[in-house]
């Protein structure tokens, strides 16, 4: 090392031009990423804050449990709220088991072949199809061809088709996260594929699987296009406070469509009602997502490796 | 380098060994391909009752593949072809009816310890349970016996319900040995078991293997040449999918094994 470069003794740890520059770059990059993160949070806070501020006058339990009145210019949300619950629950009852079990087959049983390749390709592409296309498919397949008519069932099946590929994809990810060595150890012990899946693979991927499924609740609840031609109506009067007020062979109201209607189609709506509707829609979705996070945290604490 | 030649040498010299020479496993002209790539190019040898057969050779020489063929878990790897025959007690394993029964006759210990994400107790009870044993007392007995055999019982007997994955590496490897013993195998295959284990634990496991030898046949795949020397009755040297030589360990580690490559590998002057 050149010792006569500087008067002061130079050690390996003395700051040099290069290390100064590194430190500076390090700080700049950290701030850059922090700003980007804030830009992401800011609109969310603004949206939620603005909605809550505007909705505050109408928000109450009564708002949730009474039907719209005066040609939807006032009143509550009971019919659309219950309708959305019906649509989400029925669609997930269909798509969750099919999606999860299909993913188990694709990931645990199927060998690489033209069949699995086409299936995986289909899954990826279906996940990217715009919801309005799903809507048209639903009209053709469920409303007309299957003869279900415009009904909760037809709308739910359409939503199920829409959420299915995403559930398959998220379940596959969860299954892949279970180390291959666990499966090999089980096979070496004389376990069948099914015993391996039941005792090791599923118990260790269930949190990821459930999270993937629950996140589809928000998609199913929020979509308007797939349901507006297949089963959702502008207005329907149902018994207030009765959880079984809808029949799945009939049409229903839905929060997303209701919000669209009262914001654009109905004149002179009471100030606050559309905002209240949005708050209920966003709030219930956030509630479900929060439940997913709690569940995931709970199951992760039991994670075993 | 003809594997058949090596085979005859192995058979001839075995009588000097003094142990029984009933063949438990007979491998005949075994060829394995992964896609277009050949992993074993026609190897033939026998494994005798109650011997420890050391299998040495560098990486990519087909040792692990050989073990996977024997318990037929190679079937889980896509795009593999197997030709030739492997017989277990005279029965061709490729036509065996109960493949799960076959796998339970063979205990398999893998290079890195794989504690299943279950309690210590459930790890050992896994195989008996999949085989249909439900009785608590029977399971208790199996768990204790196997953990004793694997020299782990004293360390874990008070915490059988803690997770197997929480044990240290060396303990987990003994747990996998206990698990491999839980289905009472006739044959125990160990694939480089000491790779993630400290030397002291390795010595303890080696002592365990010497004891187990009286009850079962042991195939010991190892990267540690000296480990084969310490433990094996006979040693097989694999290189690039060929069985170069199989003979008593004394001869393999002597100054004049049949093949120069064996001498070079064993003495570290390889290549």
What is the band of A31 on the pLDDT scale with cuts at 50, 70, 90? very high
Estimate to the nearest angstrom the gap between the alpha carbon of A116 and the chain centroid: 25
Whether A219 maps to a domain, the answer reads yes
Side-chain half-sphere of A20: how many Cα atoms within 13 Å?
Answer: 4
* pLDDT score recorded for residue A34: 95
Q: Which residues contact A15 (CB under 8 A, 6 or more apart)?
A: none
A191-206 confidence digits (pLDDT tens)? 999 999 999 999 889 8
Could you count the other beta carbons within 10 Å of the beta carbon of residue A291? 13
CA distances from B85 to A295, B55, B109 (A): 51, 19, 23
Cα(B1)–Cα(B243) distance, integer angstroms: 8
What is B65-83 written as a DSSP string? HHHHHHTTGGGGSSSEEEE
Q: Do A200 and B116 touch (CB under 8 A)?
A: yes
A152-162 confidence digits (pLDDT tens)? 999 999 999 99
Q: What percent of chain A has pLDDT over 70?
A: 95
Does any CB of chain B come closer than 8 Å to the CB of residue A112? yes
* pLDDT score recorded for residue A8: 60
Backbone angles phi, psi at B231, to 5 degrees: -110, -35
* pLDDT score recorded for residue B122: 92
Side-chain half-sphere of A212: how many Cα atoms within 13 Å?
Answer: 24
Could you count the other beta carbons within 10 Å of the beta carbon of residue B12? 10
Is residue B24 within 8 A of residue B49, CB to CB? The reply is yes
Mutation pick from A110, A113, A185 vs chain B, by most beta carbons of B within 10 Å, is A185
Does any CB of chain B come closer than 8 Å to the CB of residue A109? no
Mapped onto helix, strand or coil, the DSSP state of residue A258 is helix
Cα(A171)–Cα(B1) distance, integer angstroms: 50
Which portions of chain B are predicted below pLDDT 70?
1-20, 270-271
Q: Which residues of B touch A181 (CB under 8 A)?
A: 110, 112, 114
Q: Do A185 and B101 touch (CB under 8 A)?
A: no
A278-297: average pLDDT: 88
Q: Do A189 and B182 touch (CB under 8 A)?
A: yes
Q: Domain B3-112+186-252 carries which CATH code?
A: 3.40.50.300
What is B95-153 written as a DSSP string? G-S-HHHHHHHEEEE-SS----SSBHHHHHHHHHHHTT---HHHHHHHHHHHHHHTT-H
Mapped onto helix, strand or coil, the DSSP state of residue B167 is coil
Q: How are beta strands A74-75 and B91-92 bridged, if at all?
A: unpaired
Lowest mean pLDDT among A62-66, A115-119, A190-194, B33-37: A62-66
Whether A190 maps to a domain, the answer reads yes
Domain holding A106, by residue range, is 77-301
Tokens representing A253 are 């109201």
Backbone angles phi, psi at A3, to 5 degrees: -90, -20
Is residue B42 within 8 A of residue B59, CB to CB? The reply is no
* pLDDT score recorded for residue B196: 79
Does any CB of chain B come closer than 8 Å to the CB of residue A186? yes
* pLDDT score recorded for residue B10: 41
Residue A29 has pLDDT above 90, yes or no: yes
B61-84 confidence digits (pLDDT tens)? 889 999 999 999 998 888 899 999
- Name the CA radius of gyration of chain B, rounded: 18
Instruction: Say which residue the tokens 């060595």 belong to.
Output: A181
Burial of A268 (0-12, 13-18, 19+ CB in 10 A): exposed
Backbone angles phi, psi at B18, to 5 degrees: 90, -20
Whether A20 maps to a domain, the answer reads no
* pLDDT score recorded for residue A69: 79
Tokens representing A41 are 């949070």
From the list A190, A191, A204, the residue facing B117 with the nearest CB is A204
Based on the structure, what is the number of domains in chain A?
Answer: 1
* pLDDT score recorded for residue A19: 86
Cα(B172)–Cα(B10) distance, integer angstroms: 35
What is the band of A9 on the pLDDT scale with cuts at 50, 70, 90? low
CATH value at residue A262: 1.10.3720.10
Domain range summary for chain B, segments of one domain joined by +:
3-112+186-252
Q: Do A304 and B182 touch (CB under 8 A)?
A: no
Q: Which residues of A touch B142 (CB under 8 A)?
A: none
Cα(B81)–Cα(A241) distance, integer angstroms: 65
Could you count the other beta carbons within 10 Å of the beta carbon of residue B7? 19
From the list A112, A192, A199, the residue facing B100 with the nearest CB is A192
Residue A21 has pLDDT above 50, yes or no: yes
Instruction: Say which residue the tokens 């360990």 belong to.
Output: B249
Is residue B48 within 8 A of residue B21, CB to CB? The reply is yes
């Amino acid at each position: 090392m050149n010792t006569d470069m500087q008067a002061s003794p130079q050690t390996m740890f003395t700051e040099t031009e290069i290390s100064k520059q590194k430190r500076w770059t390090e700080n700049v990059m950290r701030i850059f990423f922090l700003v980007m993160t804030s830009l992401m949070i800011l609109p969310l806070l603004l949206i939620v804050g603005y909605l809550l501020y505007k909705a505050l006058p109408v928000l109450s339990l009564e708002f949730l449990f009474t039907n719209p009145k005066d040609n939807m210019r006032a009143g509550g949300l009971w019919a659309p709220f219950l309708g959305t619950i019906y649509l989400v629950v029925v669609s997930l009852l269909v798509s969750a088991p099919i999606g999860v079990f299909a993913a188990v087959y694709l990931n645990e049983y199927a060998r690489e072949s033209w069949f699995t390749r086409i299936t995986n390709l289909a899954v990826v592409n279906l996940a990217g199809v715009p919801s309005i296309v799903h809507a048209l498919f639903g009209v053709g397949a469920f409303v007309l061809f299957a003869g279900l008519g415009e009904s909760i069932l037809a709308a739910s099946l359409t939503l199920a088709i829409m959420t299915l590929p995403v559930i398959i994809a998220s379940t596959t990810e969860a299954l892949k996260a279970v180390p291959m060595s666990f499966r090999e150890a089980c096979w070496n012990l004389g376990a069948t594929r099914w015993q391996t899946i039941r005792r090791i693979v599923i118990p260790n991927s269930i949190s990821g699987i459930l999270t993937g499924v629950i996140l589809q609740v928000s998609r199913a609840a929020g979509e308007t296009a797939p349901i507006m031609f297949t089963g959702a109506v502008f207005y329907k009067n149902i018994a207030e406070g009765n959880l079984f007020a809808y029949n799945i062979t009939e049409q229903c109201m839905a929060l997303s469509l209701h919000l669209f209607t009262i914001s654009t189609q109905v004149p002179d709506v009471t100030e606050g009602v559309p905002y209240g509707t949005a708050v209920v829609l966003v709030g219930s979705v956030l509630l479900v997502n929060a439940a997913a996070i709690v569940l995931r945290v709970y199951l992760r604490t039991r994670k075993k490796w | 380098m003809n594997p058949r030649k090596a085979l005859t040498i192995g058979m001839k010299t075995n009588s000097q060994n003094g142990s029984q020479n009933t063949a438990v496993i007979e491998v005949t002209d075994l060829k394995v391909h992964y896609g277009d790539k050949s992993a074993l190019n026609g190897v033939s040898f026998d494994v005798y009752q109650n011997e420890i057969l050391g299998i040495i050779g560098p990486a990519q020489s087909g040792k692990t593949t050989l073990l996977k063929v024997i318990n037929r878990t190679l079937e889980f790897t896509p795009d593999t072809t197997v030709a030739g025959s492997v017989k277990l007690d005279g029965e061709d394993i490729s036509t065996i009816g109960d493949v799960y029964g076959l796998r339970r006759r063979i205990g398999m210990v893998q290079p890195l310890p794989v504690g299943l994400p279950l309690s210590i107790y459930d790890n050992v009870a896994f195989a008996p349970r999949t085989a249909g044993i439900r009785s608590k007392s029977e399971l208790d007995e199996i768990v204790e016996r196997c953990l004793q055999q694997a020299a782990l019982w004293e360390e874990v007997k008070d915490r059988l319900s803690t997770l197997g994955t929480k044990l240290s590496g060396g303990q987990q490897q003994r747990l996998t040995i206990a698990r491999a013993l839980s289905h009472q195998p006739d044959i125990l295959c160990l694939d480089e078991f000491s790779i993630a284990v400290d030397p002291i634990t390795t010595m303890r496991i080696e002592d365990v293997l010497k004891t187990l030898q009286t009850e079962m046949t042991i195939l010991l795949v190892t990267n540690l040449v000296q480990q084969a020397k310490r433990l094996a009755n006979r040693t097989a040297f694999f290189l690039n999918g060929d069985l170069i030589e199989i003979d008593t360990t004394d001869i393999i580690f002597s100054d004049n094994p049949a093949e120069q490559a064996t001498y070079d590998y064993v003495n570290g002057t390889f290549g």
